[in-house]
Amino acid sequence: MVGRIENISEPVALAVVEAEAVEGQRAPKSSAYVVLHASYIKRGYVKKVRDEYRIGDIIRARVVEMKNGEHHISTDDAHAGCLIAYCAGCRTPLEKRPAGLQCPACDRRDNRKLADDYKVLPRTRE
């Protein structure tokens, strides 16, 4: 499933589903909220969700369990993670560089748990 991080309240993030799963995977309906716990972000220790994702990031995840009526998701494999990240300063989509992510507008650098096929949306003229 593909979702957008809507809220972060350590140690969890809430994401809204943007696109349902394909290939027969189970997933909640579009516009449903799902829960991402820090322990399901990546292999290894994650101290804070904010160290890996920010509000507005578009992520790919898989549903790992249904608990207390909520879908819990994981981004701990290479294909899952951030698909599109936005600059915390100016909200421009971040570009992938060898040293991490960088904003083409304000040169701010940032890190995320990236999907193996991280992409940047084409720029639109305003």
Distance separating alpha carbons of residues 36 and 97, to the nearest angstrom:
26
Residues 43-61 have pLDDT tens digits of: 999 999 999 999 999 999 9
User: Token pair of 77, please?
Assistant: 């494999």
Under 8 Å between Cβ of 110 and 88: yes
Q: Say whether pLDDT at 5 is over 80.
A: yes
- Say what the pTM is: 0.84
Residues 23-40 have pLDDT tens digits of: 555 556 656 899 999 999
Q: How confident is the model at residue 126 (pLDDT cuts 50, 70, 90)?
A: very low
- What is the separation, in whole angstroms, between the first and last Cα of the chain? 30
Fold of 2-74: OB fold (Dihydrolipoamide Acetyltransferase, E2P) (2.40.50)
Under 8 Å between Cβ of 29 and 41: no
Distance separating alpha carbons of residues 116 and 104, to the nearest angstrom:
21
Residues 62-117 have pLDDT tens digits of: 999 988 888 999 999 999 999 999 999 999 999 998 888 999 999 999 999 999 99
Under 8 Å between Cβ of 3 and 61: yes
Task: Give the angle 10-102-57 at the CA atoms, nearest 5°.
Answer: 40
